[in-house]
Amino acid sequence: MPKANNLQLQGGTYHVRMDIPKDVREAFGGRRILSQTLKTGSRAEALLRRLPILHAWKTQIKTIRNGKQLGGGWQEEVVQTLEDLDAITQGQKRALVGETATPLPDVDPAFKAKLINSPRFMEAIRALVGDHLKDGIGGRVEIQDELNKGLKAILQKRLSTDYKLTSEQTQVLDTLVRDPASYKARSPITKARLASFRIYRLEHLVALKTVNQQESKLLDLSEHLQTTDTKLDFDSVSAWLQRMKLSSKTKQQYLLAGSQFWQWAMTHEPQWRQTFKGHVNPFEKHTLPTLKGKAKLDTKRKAFTIEEVGTLYAAAKEQSIGSLPDLILLGVYTGARIEELCQLRNEHLITVDGVKMFDIVDSKTVAGIRQVPVHPKLTTLVDQLSKSSTDGYLVPTGSNNKYGIRSDALSKAFGRLKTIMGFDRTRVFHSIRATVITQLVRADVPDRLIKELVGHETGTVTFDVYSNGSSPKQKLDAISKLPTIPTV
């Protein structure tokens, strides 16, 4: 059985598991346990990956217990259905006078059977047809109108029966059925669709932070569509981008969020596919301004010099800014990313072929998962951090935000420090990584070996696919060429 952390190791791979409470098992088809593979054998990584999945499961259980309720954006869904019914009715009327009509949508077989087997429904249909067929085309037009009215009444009744509506929702639903146009400025990017998109992405192990950030961007677009009362197309997306006072790089992230949502909806949302059938992805082929020459150079992140890193270290130590001085030393003698350093634990100090190394088991890229030798200048510090650790982590931090990021507080502390010392926004903690790479290049360390140390792909099949990489000794010889920073 899984422990309190809901993890279970199966064949070398961790799974997240949760017992389904007895009172909601029926809603899960009688199942007793929810289980999903986390696709990792690393316990530390599994502990992070389980969180969004557990959150989704608990939210689902809470929803079931509270009764089936209309989610956010239900008005848009109802209005869209009503408009589809009106379009179908209009098409059938045109067909009566010889015009081409849009094919009728498929009807749920179970629902169709239920109607056919209902004596009251069939009696109503016979009465309707009998009253109007004698009136020729005019009567047939009347039949279509009556069917439209009847189907809307069925929709209203089913919603009222299947969901726990508040008195306000009941009133709004009644108004919408009578006059769909009364609901103004709708956006197809509804909260209900965003909720489904969220669950889908979390189940596919997309980072919770990424999911939240992209959802925020999509909500911004949805608000823009409602405020401007415009449809979702290339022009409306272009106008949305133009009102933002953001860099082209940031706008590209907005387009990526939109494009990923569009692709998901076209694959998993039948109503979306029908509405946007034949439409091109409105988030593609936008031309964003790009910086060139000196302007581009001025905004590019720059490396610190060795002397500048020494100055930052001395200032951090003098001001007693927590573990920031130690973090700066770890950064300048490894070239590792700030979060990689903050995630290092005692068990990540390993010895391979007689060389003591940092075992970086999780990174933002596959190439980032690597082993970096402990620089001779770090030996004493690493031993001290290991012995004094109270939670297993080498670098103590005062933060562990909702995304499991431990470096957040130290990153902000570094930002404040470097600003006070006169460095602009082109210098950040990541600039220390650039410092390391620059120094390794100037020490004539081979390009391939530099990429192995800092976790970059070489771009060649020979080294990225077939090679096991350099030996621990080769890496140690290379990292040892980094110059000593002034620490006083």
Say if residue 57 is in the same domain as residue 17: yes
CA of 363: how far to CAs of 19, 28, 337, 342, 463, in Å?
31, 35, 9, 11, 19
Say if residue 44 is in the same domain as residue 94: no
Say if residue 331 is in the same domain as residue 386: yes
Q: What is the pLDDT of residue 148?
A: 77
| CA 381 – CA 326 distance, rounded (Å) | 8
The CATH number given to whatever domain includes residue 269 is: 1.10.150
Domain of residue 20: give its range. 7-65
Residue 2 lies in a domain: no
Q: What is the separation of C-alpha 458 from the centre of its chain, rounded to a whole number of angstroms?
A: 28
Residue 484 lies in a domain: no
Residue 336 has pLDDT above 90, yes or no: yes
Say if residue 89 is in the same domain as residue 109: yes
Residues 241-252: tens digit of each pLDDT: 999 988 888 999
Residue 425 has pLDDT above 80, yes or no: yes
Q: How confident is the model at residue 1 (pLDDT cuts 50, 70, 90)?
A: very low
Say if residue 175 is in the same domain as residue 201: no
Q: Which of 182, 216, 242 is the last residue of a domain?
A: 182
Q: What is the pLDDT of residue 338?
A: 93
Residue 297 lies in a domain: no
Residue 380 lies in a domain: yes
For the ranges 36-40, 308-312, 324-328, the lowest mean pLDDT is seen at: 36-40
Residue 1 lies in a domain: no
Say if residue 104 is in the same domain as residue 202: no
Say if residue 324 is in the same domain as residue 434: yes
Q: How confident is the model at residue 139 (pLDDT cuts 50, 70, 90)?
A: low
Dihedral sign for Cα atoms in the order 152, 154, 159, 164: positive
Q: Which of 19, 42, 65 is the last residue of a domain?
A: 65
Residue 3 has pLDDT above 60, yes or no: no
118, 87, 121: which is closest to 104 by C-alpha? 87
Q: Which range, 10-24, 333-347, 358-372, is most confident?
A: 333-347
343, 330, 481, 467: which is closest to 406 by C-alpha? 343
The stretch 71-77 carries a mean pLDDT of: 69
The CATH number given to whatever domain includes residue 440 is: 1.10.443.10
Residue 323 lies in a domain: yes
Say if residue 368 is in the same domain as residue 446: yes
Say if residue 176 is in the same domain as residue 237: no
Residues 264-310: tens digit of each pLDDT: 999 998 778 878 888 999 999 998 877 555 444 445 678 999 999 99
Residue 25 lies in a domain: yes
Q: Which of 41, 65, 89 is the last residue of a domain?
A: 65
The stretch 114-136 carries a mean pLDDT of: 58
Say if residue 331 is in the same domain as residue 463: yes
Residue 294 lies in a domain: no
Single-letter amino acid, residue 67: G
Element (H, E) at 89: helix 74-96
Say if residue 356 is in the same domain as residue 448: yes
CA angle 484, 375, 437 (to 5 degrees): 70
Tell me the pTM: 0.55
How many CA atoms lie less than 13 Å away from 235 in the CB half-sphere? 4
Count how many domains the chain has. Answer: 4
Say if residue 220 is in the same domain as residue 339: no
Q: What is the pLDDT of residue 220?
A: 94
